[in-house]
Amino acid sequence: MRKLLVSLLAVTAFGAAVPAAFGEQPWTLSDNVRYMSMGDSFAAGKGAIPVTSGFAYLLYKEGVFGSITNVTFANSAVPGSLSADVLAWQLPAAKKSFKPHVVTVFIGGNDLQRVLGGANPNDVLAAYGSNIYQILCGLRDGITPSPFVIIANQPDFPWLTEMNPQVRVLIMAMNQITADVAQVCGARVADVFTAFEGRTGVFLHDRNGVAANEPHPTNLGYRLIADAFKEAAAQ
């Protein structure tokens, strides 16, 4: 017991001697730009090698929203997330804890997957529109000062469109909803659809040996996504 008390006293004394700034959490540094990535596996960088070649990490490393020494970056994206999941989990964390100055959002692919699984397209699109409205306007109205928000639209997935041309129609309908909601909520749109159009080598699906349903971008694809966000930021 005596040894335990001595150890505890030593730890307490060490803690008291540590400067306050040393223990300060990065997101409390008043002079930092706080950048948050929200969304699904695209926002998380799934498929990039290494994962830090995902678009959100590229935007951070290349100082798009501020010098790398003056930006605190948080990637809250979770692979497999629907727009409803971002609304339920990622938005509250942004508003309550991180309070970002800049937010990038990439969401919708898993909502589209529900249609491919048999869900009613109109129901899915309506839910998606409602969810992103609450996300984008929630960021604008729920954080002071309101953050600078950019949301990506969806690229076409050529191998799916070849099997069913209605897939492209569905994607374009979703992208129109994204554009309309972004305008209402004061967000900008990263035009990933145009960036990917007619390009090869942007999806892992194009590589030999991958699963037939692999939808994630290659490093080149993530580079193009980052460039689309950069272009939107510069508008």
Range of the domain at 168: 34-234
Residue 10's pLDDT band, with cuts at 50, 70 and 90, is very low
Residue 82: what pLDDT? 98
Q: Is residue 25 part of a domain?
A: no
Q: What would the pLDDT profile of 43-84 be if each residue is shown by its tens digit?
A: 999 999 999 999 999 999 999 999 999 999 999 999 999 999
Residue 25's pLDDT band, with cuts at 50, 70 and 90, is low
CATH number at residue 44: 3.40.50.1110
Q: Is residue 77 part of a domain?
A: yes
pLDDT over 80 (residue 27): no
Q: Is residue 22 part of a domain?
A: no
Number of domains comprising the chain = 1
Q: In what order do the strands lie in the sheet containing 148-152?
A: 71-75, 33-39, 102-106, 148-152, 188-190
Q: Is residue 155 part of a domain?
A: yes
All residues at 6 or more sequence positions from 104 whose CB lies less than 8 Å from its CB, including other chains: 35, 36, 37, 38, 39, 43, 55, 56, 59, 149, 150, 151, 152, 190, 229
Q: Is residue 153 part of a domain?
A: yes
pLDDT over 70 (residue 227): yes
pLDDT over 80 (residue 9): no
Q: What is the dihedral of CA 12, 13, 19, 25, to 10 degrees?
A: -10
Residue 213's pLDDT band, with cuts at 50, 70 and 90, is confident
Do the Cβ atoms of 154 and 109 come closer than 8 Å? yes
Q: Is residue 29 part of a domain?
A: no
Q: Is residue 57 part of a domain?
A: yes
Percent of the chain having pLDDT more than 70?
Answer: 86
pLDDT over 70 (residue 3): no
Q: Is residue 127 part of a domain?
A: yes
